[in-house]
Amino acid sequence: MTASDLFGNPVSAAALQRKPALLKGTRREARASDLPGPAGETCRTCRHAYYRQQGKRYWKCAIAKRAATNGPGTDIRLKDPACARWEKEDTP
């Protein structure tokens, strides 16, 4: 039995194994830089990390604030390694 799409056209085995582009993670796109930052540092310790409170906290990067949306595409994960634009958090 061969696989077919919604319109009855045959679908190749390679196309069945490929993930649709919409299912790929978008969290990774929110980083300000793909260059690695200081070893041992994370987004949690960066002064650019901030959150929006909408029932729960959604963490964002202030460097990319102009592009920030209310969706998950611009969220950051605090446990991710720091990027090259990492700056030490100010502690009073």
Q: Which residues contact 66 (CB under 8 A, 6 or more apart)?
A: none
Q: What phi, psi does 11 have (nearest 5°)?
A: -120, 135
Higher-confidence residue of 55 and 12: namely 55
* Structural domains in the chain plus CATH codes: 25-92 (4.10.490)
pLDDT tens-digit map of 9-53: 887 777 667 655 554 454 455 556 667 889 999 999 999 999 999
For the entire predicted model, the pTM comes to: 0.60
What is the pLDDT at residue 45?
93
Could you give phi then psi for residue 53, rounded to 5 degrees?
Answer: -95, 110
**Model pLDDT, residue 44:** 92
Please tell me the predicted confidence (pLDDT) of residue 59.
92
